[in-house]
Structure 1
Amino acid sequence: MSEQFACMVSDLAPERALLAELTLADGAEIPVAIVRSADGDFYAIDDLCTHGEVSLSEGEVEGCHVECWAHGSRFDIRTGVPDELPAMTPVKTYPTRVEGERVLVDIDHPILTKENA
């Protein structure tokens, strides 16, 4: 597994997001939004909205959703699936776990759902 350090638990309050630049196994850097849900769980999704290529880490987080600040598309941070137009294409989601105070993300193994497979 290729887990990478994304942030500290204390860096992110519930219902907030931040940008982490992570590196794929091939060396390419990818912007990832690290999102903390209302219940305190951590999720990692592609940072760019699939509608307008706007940073989702700058959007509003409510419950288990992040809203793109530019056009209002809303994505479920658990699945990456948009549930508010204009976006229709899901963002990738990545396995995330907390080890002590560190939030780790496995960027090389996106979680595939039927919507984003």
Structure 2
Amino acid sequence: MTAQRVCALSDLEQDAATRVEIDGVAMAVVLDSNGVVHAIGDVCTHGDISLSEGFVDGETLECWAHGSAFSLRTGKPLNLPAYEPVPVFAVTIDGDDVLIDPAVKLEVN
């Protein structure tokens, strides 16, 4: 599979998450305060809650329901109750297009 356009970079709000879906894979796309675009799995590993409805703080996305914060870089939970990471996807910016390949999950330590 190749990367697909999910939105325009200009459509993203800084420090906010946007839900996108490619071939049934839901992702939360975030433009952080440093201008970096991240894409992580949209479903909190603690419960079936959309992370894109959560709160962005720096390089973290916090689940609104139970407060688990996930690293936008690694997908790892930074606090309980979640203890399993969410997937992190490679993002490519081409002009004003945000491209993501859902088959390419980053392995970040």
Normalized against structure 1, the TM-score is what?
Answer: 0.89
Letter in 2 for 1:101: D
* Correspondence for 1:94: 89
Q: Would you say 1:12 and 2:21 are equivalent positions?
A: no
Whole-Å Cα distance in 1 between the matches of residues 57 and 14 of structure 2?
A: 9
Q: How far off its partner does 1:113 sit?
A: 3.0
RMSD between superposed Cα atoms in Å: 1.0
The answer for unaligned runs of 5 or more in structure 2 is: none
Distance 2:78 2:94 in 1: 31
DSSP 3-state at the match of 1:84: coil
The question of whether the paired residues in 1 share the 8 Å contact of 2:27 and 2:42 is answered with yes
Runs of 4+ in structure 1 deviating by more than 2 angstroms, as ranges, are none
Q: d(CA) in 1 for partners of 2:20 and 2:64?
A: 18
1:23-34 to structure 2, matched below 5 A, reads 23=23, 29-34=24-29
Over residues 93-114 of structure 1, what are the superposed CA-to-partner deviations in whole Å (9 max), with x where a residue is unaligned? 0000110000011111111235
Q: Deviations over 1:2-45 (max 9, x none)?
A: 1011111111121111010112xxxxx11111111111110111
1:108 paired to 2:107: no
Is residue 6–residue 34 contact of structure 1 (8 Å, CA) maintained in 2? no
Percent sequence identity is: 42
